[in-house]
Structures are given as structure tokens and as C-alpha cells.
Amino acid sequence: MADQPQNYNENWAERQRHQRIEKNFILTYYEKTNPSIKIELTQLKNISKGGLCFITTKAFSPSTKLGLELRTPYLSDTTYLEGTVLESRPKIEGIIYETRLQFEQLNPQADFLISKMIEVFMNGGSTTYE
């Protein structure tokens, strides 16, 4: 694994700290330094309480701050998330990238939504609400 970045094992440990689910929800994202330019309708690959992996049309440098708007069939409102890019890996060079993002701090709505999604999908897609 000589080709791996120096902090590869650190990143792997971070990625494995939280349960993640693989769901294809719709996201809008933007750079925090320029929130007026939003990239509409990209696809989420997976999500956990620590961060997410999603598809982008450009590579982002590590430490880039992004804002995201997550829409799911579970809430009528949009859930807002913020985080820092860990890496952008090319899937198709110059066209499609998988971008890993670590959440800065989840707001209460986002924390609740992600917790419920993980609970539901780890239990086979069904849960009871009391």
C-alpha cells in the first residue's frame, strides 16, 4: 500500500467509526465560500453520523468546506448539513468524482434524521414509531 496517502489508516479508522447506510438520496451542494453557486441534484452514495460520500462533477481539495441540502422521502423539509472534504476520487476523470465529506457538527434535525435512517435501514427498512 505504498501508494496510499500517509493518513490512509487514520482515514480508514474514521470511516469505520460510524455505521453507514448506502442510499441514493438527492443532494444539492455548494462551497461555503460561494453559497450562491449551487450544484443541483447530485446523488448520495452513503451516509453516517460522521459524514457521507456523494457524487460531484469536480474534484474538491481536502479541507474544502461544503454546505449540503439533503432531501429524503421521510421529511417534507430540506435537511441542511455542513462539512469538510476529506478527498475527491475520480470515477471518470474530469467528469465524475466520489467525494468524501466529514460533518462539522450536525444540527438537531440532521442528527435525528440520520439516526432514524440508520435505525430503519439497519433493521431491514421497517421500524415502529410510538
User: For position 18, what pLDDT does the model report?
Assistant: 59
> How many structural domains compose the chain?
1
Instruction: Classify residue 77 as exposed, middle or buried by CB count within 10 Å of its CB (0-12, 13-18, 19+).
Output: exposed
Residues 6+ away with beta carbon under 8 Å from 125 = none
H or E, element range at 102: strand 96-103
Task: Show the domain range for 38.
Answer: 15-122
Domain assignment of residue 4, yes or no: no
Domain assignment of residue 78, yes or no: yes
H or E, element range at 27: strand 26-31
Domain assignment of residue 22, yes or no: yes
Domain assignment of residue 2, yes or no: no
Averaged over successive runs of 10 residues, the pLDDT of the chain (130 residues) comes to 44 52 76 88 85 92 94 76 95 92 89 83 53
H or E, element range at 87: strand 79-92
Domain assignment of residue 20, yes or no: yes
User: For position 96, what pLDDT does the model report?
Assistant: 93
Domain assignment of residue 114, yes or no: yes
User: For position 102, what pLDDT does the model report?
Assistant: 96
- Nearest Cα residue to 52 out of 75, 84, 92: 84
User: For position 64, what pLDDT does the model report?
Assistant: 97
Domain assignment of residue 67, yes or no: yes
Domain assignment of residue 9, yes or no: no
User: For position 19, what pLDDT does the model report?
Assistant: 59
User: For position 74, what pLDDT does the model report?
Assistant: 63
CATH number assigned to the domain comprising residue 39: 2.40.10.220
